Amino acid sequence: MNSLLTGLNKEQQQAVQHTEGPLLILAGAGSGKTKVLTVRIAHLLAQGVNPYEILAITFTNKAAKEMKSRVEGLVGDVANRIWLSTFHSFCAKFLRFEIDSFLGYNSNFTIYDTSDSQAVIKAALKALNLDDKYYPVGAMIAAISDAKNKLLFASDFRKQARDFYQQKVADVYEYYERELRKNNALDFDDLLLVAVKLLQSNATVLDIYSHRFRYVMIDEYQDTNNIQYEIINLIAAKYRNICVVGDEDQSIYAFRGANIENILNFEKDYPDAYTIKLERNYRSTKRILDTANELIRNNKSSKGKKLWTNGEKGEKIKVFNAPTVYDEAEFIVKEIKSKSKSGVDYKDMTILYRTNAQSRVLEEKLLEGNVPYKIYGGMQFFQRKEIKDILAYMNLLNNPNDNHNFYRIINVPKRAIGDKTLEKIAQLANEKGISMLESTKYIDEIPGLRTAVKEAIKSFYKMMNGIYERLDELSVKEVFDEVLIQTKYIDSIEDNKEDRVKNIEELLNSITESERQNPGMSLSEYLDMVSLTSSTDDIEDEENFIKLMTIHSSKGLEFDYVFIAGMEDGLFPSCNFDTSEDEIEEERRLCYVAVTRAKKELYLSHVSERMVWGQMNYMIRPSRFISEMKQGNLDYLSEKNDKLSKKTGTTILFNQEPKRKIENFNPFSLKSVRTSELRNKEKSKYKVGDVVNHIKFGKGKIKKVDEKSLLIDFMTGEKKIALILAEKLLKG
């Protein structure tokens, strides 16, 4: 026992040893929460707890693998008997066992990824004669996802549809749901929704799982959504040995349904809960932590943690104001190359940004500087065409009802099967009430088909049926081999052959490694693993590249040197005139996450001009978050803006009395007031009752004028417009 606790601080030891009853661990960034969770699991096992009685859930496959590896290092192979996975993996595994006959599904269901869902939604819009200009695919997917997060099936959503648009969304949702069930397929949201509905509706199943899992641990609890909250509380209800670990200050996924109230209200849900704060940071310097603490204390939702360290004080945070985005990128690349020359590996540095669009200029300058880089969050390995094709074959073999994947591969490689032929096959399938794949068995019943087409379809069916009949005796690798050999897929590749063959080789490596780690792994288990791979699971520390990613993608990662680009109001925080305080708080938490990724040094950069929707914007303010940081820890850098000022005739960012280089210049000091702000103190030209025209909201009437803002009644509702922006946005 003592050996397990060695190296843990007092609070960490308490978290490990408190095993009975509800436990809330508020774990600040870099406070060693993964170590606490793994040691806590080892402690439970040392106490005689059966590994089958432990359920541990985290949010990424990478985190789950790391946690399982650490537990295995402490307790050995017994770790493999613990249910330790992501939420989606847990639900997929649960449904493989329990879904048969529920809602018409069987256990060989296919998991559709985002691109698969998009294809079905496109088909729905076409079938329903809905214009995707007015009903964009992305908006439909988002609306359906939001409905599922609220535990609503299509029929439930229909009942509460309030207007014409929502009725059309309901039409799309019903079509989408019907197609997925017909194909024996679930999307990512379905894994959670169907799991919770099954637990709620089947008392026997709920009793089995709530009895089995005596100890439930949830990592990143601040990121749980409504469905995940329901699942966990249902399973933990019997024994109430629920341990949740999280940091309300790192809750950044509200846009995809995360509910910060879950962690904020845990002590209300469980009045007998014991709360432990992990505030000692083992990652960052004192200056970085003090800066982060000062920033986040502006949030009302924060529970008052204060990160501290016994480590070094560290360098000041560098704040750089660049004239343009190109200057900003040049500055960042220059600093990166300088650190590389001094012996810092590229892999220990990262550039973070608020939106993916910011990467373009950064990429240009990195290429010019001959700096190796990699972007994360772009096209994933398993989304590449050749990989999707082969996996489509494997998915169809696993689930012969999957018409979506049938359509994908019936002509891959080319078999000269046209759309009209596919329509006839679909008609035959509907008449017989069977899948598209099975209907190819009866191709002779379709009149008017050319002999060559019939033979191609017969050959396809024979091939697929031949593999399917031997599926139980084939390993995943053998299924892969059969698909490649019998389809002659590699021979059919015409463009970028070398790269695409290398990708296929890598898929084989993935299968081989997965089977090595999971002896006896079934085809469905491998396909689940592939389907549930996230965008950051493939980040390898060994690769010596500069890593570029959004701040959202950086969650859970750490780097010696962090550059945060685009620290400007309107971009970060991403806000407009009617942004709520809750949304601003979420943006501030996102900034807090970005800051706390840094171990040694942190750079913040912003620009004086930026192209927005094809128009150059010269009225850019540095992010308010910079002003909220501890100013004594910031080192303001600036360059001459003479050239830009002469070009535009505009005051760029600060008063520039003498045209000179400014060192350690703080734009948030009282002396650094923009001339436009000074002008606002004069009497406003706007009066109550004036009719104005806003570039976005259209015509409106001024209802109120004060020294800082205008309250205007537009057709879309009342909006508050800052006086500093009025001349740019309003036409009298």
**Catalytic site positions:** 33-34, 219-220, 250, 597
29-38 exposure pattern, b = at least 16 Cβ within 10 A, e = fewer: bbbbbbbbbb
Q: For residues 668 and 622, give the distance between their C-alpha atoms in angstroms, rounded to a whole number.
A: 9
436-147-90 Cα angle (round to 5): 70
Report the distance separating Cα 39 and Cα 182, nearest Å. Answer: 45
Q: Are 621 and 607 in contact (CB under 8 A)?
A: no
CA dist 215 and 44 (Å) reads: 9
Q: What is the spatial distance between Cα 670 and Cα 657, in angstroms, rounded to a whole number?
A: 15
CA distance 25 to 263: 10
CA distance 37 to 48: 17
Question: How many angstroms separate the CA atoms of 146 and 64, rounded?
Answer: 26
Answer yes or no: are the C-beta atoms of 394 and 483 closer than 8 Å. yes
Tally Cβ neighbours within 10 Å of residue 506.
Answer: 13
The distance in angstroms from the start CA to the end CA of the chain is 75
- Rg over alpha carbons for the chain, rounded to the nearest Å, is 29
Helix or strand (DSSP H, E) at 217:
strand 215-218
Taken in order 120, 124, 127, 131, is the CA torsion positive or negative? Answer: negative
Do 438 and 399 form a contact (C-beta atoms < 8 A)?
Answer: no
- The 3-state DSSP class for residue 85 equals strand
316: Cα within 13 Å, side-chain hemisphere: 13
- Alpha-carbon distance 117 to 115, whole Å? 5
3-state secondary structure (DSSP) of residue 538 = coil
The answer to whether residues 603 and 318 touch, using CB atoms and an 8 Å cutoff, is: yes
Q: How far apart are CA 302 and CA 722, in angstroms?
A: 28
Q: Is the dihedral of CA 621, 622, 627, 628 positive or negative?
A: positive
Asked if 137 and 118 count as a contact pair (C-beta separation under 8 A), the reply is yes
Give the separation between CA 3 and CA 134, rounded to whole angstroms.
63
Query: Among residues 718, 519, 593, which one has the least CA distance to residue 248?
Result: 593
Pairwise CA distance, residues 468 & 401, whole Å: 13
Instruction: Give me the sheet containing 242-246, strands edge to edge.
Output: 83-86, 54-58, 215-218, 242-246, 23-27, 274-278
User: Which residue, among 262, 246, 254, 145, has the nearest Cα to 584 in the 3D structure?
Assistant: 254
Distance CA 10, CA 288 (A): 24
Q: What is the H or E stretch that residue 186 is in? A: strand 185-187
Strand residues in 428-566 grouped as ranges (E): 546-550, 559-564
Please name which of 82, 84, 78, 102 lies closest in space to residue 34, comparing C-alpha atoms: 84
What ranges in 306-435 are assigned the alpha helix state H? 325-341, 359-368, 385-398, 403-409, 419-432
| Residue 177 CB-density burial (10 A; 0-12 exposed, 13-18 middle, 19+ buried) | buried
Identity at 446, one-letter amino acid code: I
The whole-angstrom distance between residue 430's C-alpha and the CA centroid of its chain comes to 38
**Per DSSP, what are the bridge partners of residue 276?**
25
- Asked if 232 and 141 touch (Cβ cutoff 8 Å), the reply is no
